Amino acid sequence: MAEVRIDAELKHLSGTGVARKVRAQGKVPAVIYGRGIETTAIQLNRRELATALNSDAGMNVLLDLQIEGKGTLALTRELQRDPVKGTLLHADFVRVDRTQAVEVEVPIHVVGSSPGVNEGGVLENPLFTVHVKCLPTEVPEFVAADVSGLAIGDSLRVSDLSSLGSFEILTDPEAVVASVLAPVSQEELEAMESAAAIEAAGGVEAMAEAAEEEPSDEEAAEGAEAGDPQGESQPESS
């Protein structure tokens, strides 16, 4: 995997106001931690980081962070983004060693044409990533899930994926990656919609009945004034 070099600076001050000023300068406040180094606050160019993360490797892109002229190999561990604009607000990096294996999440790409889908079946893809272990320089951009052998009713599991020997897949081998379901007939679809409508109507009716049984605000207030939280009259004491 190619490395992306990004210049970074030490961030000596902390606080919300400082972070806001850093972002106003087009930079991203961040921290880097890992074996052999203390957790260090840094700042780096937002555009350069965004460009690196938008590569095919995504979050797994190998970064050569040049901090005050000293190179540190790192992977992105966590990102914080503005919920509205989507701009980068903060980043966490972990230092890695070229000779030490790391564990990362790698996306699954479905490839091939399924005979079952060609016959009208529906392809389901419930698993989107797998957890893999490998050297930082050998992190795959994706793991291919070939569905070209799936007929209707067949499933592809993690154990069926090929790692090509460069990485180890740690995800449960029995987890389903993709499956081809039989097509739903019009009659079955109408029956499912009818059952859903009946269930929804039953829920609304139950809520209405519960509302009728509850005392009104006026009744509850009158009951509270009389010392009865339920709003019911109490027999007078003799």
Among candidate residues 123, 121, 143, 146, the one with its CA nearest the CA of residue 132 = 143
Find out whether 123 and 147 touch, Cβ atoms under 8 Å. yes
pLDDT digits (tens, 9 = 90+) for 38-59: 899 999 999 999 999 998 889 9
The C-alpha atoms of residue 221 and residue 216 are separated, in whole angstroms, by: 8
Record the pTM: 0.70
Fold classification of 3-96 is Ribosomal Protein L25; Chain P (2.40.240)
CA-to-CA distance for 92 and 49, rounded, in angstroms?
A: 12
Residue appearing with tokens 């460069």: 166
Per-residue pLDDT, averaged over 194-222, amounts to 68
pLDDT at 229: 47
Q: What is the DSSP letter of 183?
A: P
Tell me the pLDDT of the chain averaged across its residues: 86
Interval 92-105: pLDDT, tens? 999 999 999 999 99
DSSP codes of every residue in 47-99: HHHHHHHTSTTGGG-EEEEEETTEEEEEEEEEEEE-TTT--EEEEEEEE--TT
* Predicted pLDDT at 199: 84
Beta-strand pair 27-34/70-81? unpaired
12-22 pLDDT, tens digit each: 777 778 888 99
The burial class, CB within 10 Å (0-12 / 13-18 / 19+), for 218 is: exposed
Q: How far apart are CA 120 and CA 92, in angstroms?
A: 45
How much helix, strand and coil, in percent to the nearest 5, is found in the chain? 30, 35, 35
Closest C-alpha to 98, from 176, 215, 3, 230: 3
Q: What is the torsion angle, in degrees rounded to the nearest 10, for the CA atoms of residue 68, residue 72, residue 75 and residue 77? A: -60
- Give the Cα separation of 71 and 93 in Å (integer): 14
What single string gives the DSSP state of each residue in 7-30?
Answer: EEEE----SHHHHHHHHHTTEEEE
At residue 237, the pLDDT reads 46
Fold type of domain 103-181: RNA Polymerase Alpha Subunit; Chain A, domain 2 (2.170.120)
Both tokens of 215, joined, read 């005392």
